[in-house]
Amino acid sequence: MPRDRLRLGRHSERARVYHITTCTADRRAVFQDATCARLLIQQMRALHNEHLVKSLAWVVMPDHLHWLFELGNSVSVSTVVQRLKGASARQIRERTYLTETLWQRGFHDHALRHDEDIADIARYIVANPLRAG
């Protein structure tokens, strides 16, 4: 299925909890570098502090990010991810050795259903490094 078709059904709902996963371009292990990981986390915190999201759990892996958040007012999931990717890429290019494209296009999102346990999803996210070894 073409990537654009995946986005057709994407819908953002205020106060809904979303689990997003987004990967680095070519799955490069950019975030093994602690500076790059800290710069990404700073941008996540900025979105949280602007009340665009309420971060519930996250883990930065060497080549991808898992983030569980509650969506804030008047913003879409796509906008949140776009702002995160754009701001983190700018910061990382300005402050590190990286010059190439940071992020893979697109992202995977899952809107949690009301019967899904947020704590279970959060545990799954934070245990990701253990499963990855």
> Does the residue 119 lie in any domain?
yes
What backbone phi and psi angles, to 5 degrees, belong to 9? -90, 0
Angle at 117 between CA 114 and CA 120, to 5 degrees: 155
Hey, which residues does 59 pair with through a beta bridge?
A: 66
97: three-class secondary structure by DSSP: coil
> Does the residue 2 lie in any domain?
no
How many domains does the structure of the chain reveal? 1
> Does the residue 52 lie in any domain?
yes
Q: What is the CATH number of the domain that holds 66?
A: 3.30.70.1290
Q: Residue 39's domain spans which residues?
A: 13-132
| DSSP at 110 | E
pLDDT (0 to 100) of residue 117: 84
Two structure tokens written together for 8 = 């057709």
pLDDT (0 to 100) of residue 97: 87
Contact 61, 128 (CB under 8 A): yes
pLDDT (0 to 100) of residue 2: 45
> Does the residue 66 lie in any domain?
yes
> Does the residue 7 lie in any domain?
no
> Does the residue 1 lie in any domain?
no
What backbone phi and psi angles, to 5 degrees, belong to 58? -160, 160
> Does the residue 5 lie in any domain?
no
Going residue by residue through the chain (133 aa), what tens digit of pLDDT does each one get? 444 444 555 666 677 899 999 999 999 999 999 999 999 999 999 999 999 999 999 999 999 999 999 999 878 999 999 999 999 999 999 999 889 999 999 999 999 988 888 898 899 899 877 777 6
> Does the residue 4 lie in any domain?
no
